[in-house]
Structure formats: C-alpha cells, structure tokens
Structure 1
Amino acid sequence: MIGSGREEKKDNDLFFTCSLIDYIARKTQNTRSDVVNKLGKERLEKIYDLADIYHCDNIDRVSDDFIEEADITPGTFDNVGECKYSIPSHWDIGKVYKRLIKQAAQSEKIGIIDALIKVYNSFISDKIDDYNSSVYYENPSYIFECYIENKML
C-alpha cells in the first residue's frame, strides 16, 4: 500500500518510531537500546501502529507521555554533548535506523518491531550512536553488512 509520499506509509511510521526513540534517548540521556527495552514490545507496536497520529502532535508532549508511561529515568549517556562535530538530528538518526531495520526484517524474515528490538540491541547501535565516528552517515548497505557480520568491516 503506497501512501501519499514516495515511500510506503508504514516506512514513514517506522521512520517516526525510530526518530521518537532517538528523541526520548537524547531527552533522558539514555542509550537507544535502554529506551527500546524500557518501552517494550507492546508500546513500540503501539507507537508504530499509531505513528500517523503521534506525528501530528508535538514531539515533546508525545515523548513526555511515553517517558512517564514507561518510567524512563534520567541516565548518563550524552552522545550529543560529547559530539565534537556537527550533531545529526533525531530525524537524521531515525532515517538511518529505519533503513537498517527494514533490511534486517526482510533479510531475517521477522516482523518490523522484532527487527527494531534486535537492531537497537545489537553492537551496531552503539556505533551509529557515536556521533564522533562516521558510522551514522555511512552507506546503508555498509551498515547492514556490518550488522549481519556482527562487526565493523
């Protein structure tokens, strides 16, 4: 089913879901895997299923609601503050994760949310979230191959 844009509607929903995860992680200073694990599969499915509604609302309010609901407490991971270079936006990082998760789901023949949980809990998530490295702006195919091989190539 094609949406009104160039991508399938669910691709845009995955993009929003990943961007929201990054937004929450920055706001609470937690790793992306910690945020994903605190949100849990059920909430992640809800965010993904209702992304077209959530994206119409203020992202601060939406993130606050999920931070409170999932009891996400402040952490000490500050990849934005530690960045020495231009900081990618939560939308930029959402796009990187969206592409990787789609490829992982397709390759591993698993659902999108299962792939999301798996990707965010893999070694590549730490590499993408190191904004002092070049991984987050590498070619999506390269990032996927590193994910598959479970190491940087």
Structure 2
Amino acid sequence: MNGREDKKQNDLFFVCSLIDYIARQTKNKRKVVVNALGKEELEHLYDLADVYHSENIDKITSELVNKHSISEGTFDNVAACQYRIPTHWDMGKVYHRLIIDVYKSEDKPVIDALMEVYNSWISDSLDDYNSSMYYENPSYLFASYKAGQPL
C-alpha cells in the first residue's frame, strides 16, 4: 500500500480513466472502446498501468486507437452535456469504485468485472452527463447495478 489506496486499485483507476479518455477522443461509447481493446489488452494495461501512467495520455491513446483500429464514432456526451462536464479522471473514479464493488462481491477477476460493468446498462446511464447517475454515491450505484436498474 503506497498512498491512500492499494496500488492495484490505483492501476484500475488509471485504466478506467484511459478508457474514458479514448472514448472521448474517438466519440465512442465506453463499451465500444472496452470491446475493441479486448480482455488481453485490458489485462496488459492493468498490469503495466504504473508505467503507462507516466506516459503522455495522448500518445497512449493514439497507439491504442491505431493498434485496435478504433474508428471515429458519433457518441459525443461531452458536446451534449448541458452542465459541468466531468473529467476523464472523474469518470475513471466512478467506474473504478463500481468495478471494485463488483469484483469483490462476485469474487471474479478484476478485468472480467470491468468488462461486465462497461457492457451493462449502467454504463449508458453513467455516460449521460445530463442525468444525475454519474455523481450518485458508490453504494447507490452498486445497489442499482445489482438490481439491474436505477433504484
């Protein structure tokens, strides 16, 4: 433990923030980015997050977009936002907390939980910055996720 949280939890935070950053740059939903990267690449990013965290995020994004042929989409939740736009770091923290709750409660590998969360209904709700979902407290998000709908 170096700092306020476990190193691997911080690595997960970085991966989630990177996913959000790539999605914003390519105007794709987060699940499109997650599925394009795939489990193997996500595990690689998670394992080496402390190294990638030191790199320029635009450089990493460009390399991953090219390597995985992530094409330009039409989903621009930043432009559609009528309120304060959360940063990719803000959204990384939201996803990171939810994924931790999921993998701990279901006793599954972290990347499996990550892929499950990003491919679930809650991802679309979290990425609607005109709703209140993304700034709800972590326990509410987890309970809603488990219920399969907002509570």
Counterpart selection for 2:129 from 112, 119, 131: 131
Q: Which amino acid aligns with 1:143?
A: L
Deviations 1:69-92 (CA, angstroms, capped at 9, x unpaired): 111000000000000000000000
Partner of 1:96: 94
4+ residue runs over 4 A deviation? none
Partner of 2:119: 121
Unmatched runs of 5 consecutive residues or more in structure 1: none
% same residue: 60
Deviations 1:28-72 (CA, angstroms, capped at 9, x unpaired): 000000000000000000110000000101000011111111110
Counterpart selection for 2:9 from 5, 8, 11: 11
Name the CA distance, whole Å, in 2 between partners of 1:77 and 1:30. Answer: 5
- Map 1:98-113; keep pairs closer than 5 Å: 98-113=96-111
Partner of 2:138: 140
Q: Does 2:20 align with 1:22?
A: yes
Give the CA deviation at 1:17: 0.1
Name the CA distance, whole Å, in 1 between partners of 2:149 and 2:4. Answer: 32
Counterpart selection for 2:32 from 34, 38, 45: 34
Name the CA distance, whole Å, in 1 between partners of 2:15 and 2:66. Answer: 17
Name the CA distance, whole Å, in 1 between partners of 2:33 and 2:55. Answer: 20
Give the CA deviation at 1:103: 0.4
Give the CA deviation at 1:116: 0.1
Partner of 1:55: 53
Give the CA deviation at 1:15: 0.2
Counterpart selection for 1:66 from 52, 64, 67: 64
Give the CA deviation at 1:94: 0.1
Q: Which amino acid aligns with 2:47?
A: D
SS of the residue corresponding to residue 81 of structure 1 reads helix
TM-score under structure 1 normalisation? 0.98
Give the CA deviation at 1:96: 0.2
CA RMSD of aligned residues (A): 0.4
Q: Which amino acid aligns with 2:50?
A: D
Q: Which amino acid aligns with 1:35?
A: V
Give the CA deviation at 1:140: 0.3
Q: Does 2:75 align with 1:83?
A: no
SS of the residue corresponding to residue 79 of structure 2 reads coil
Q: Does 2:42 align with 1:44?
A: yes
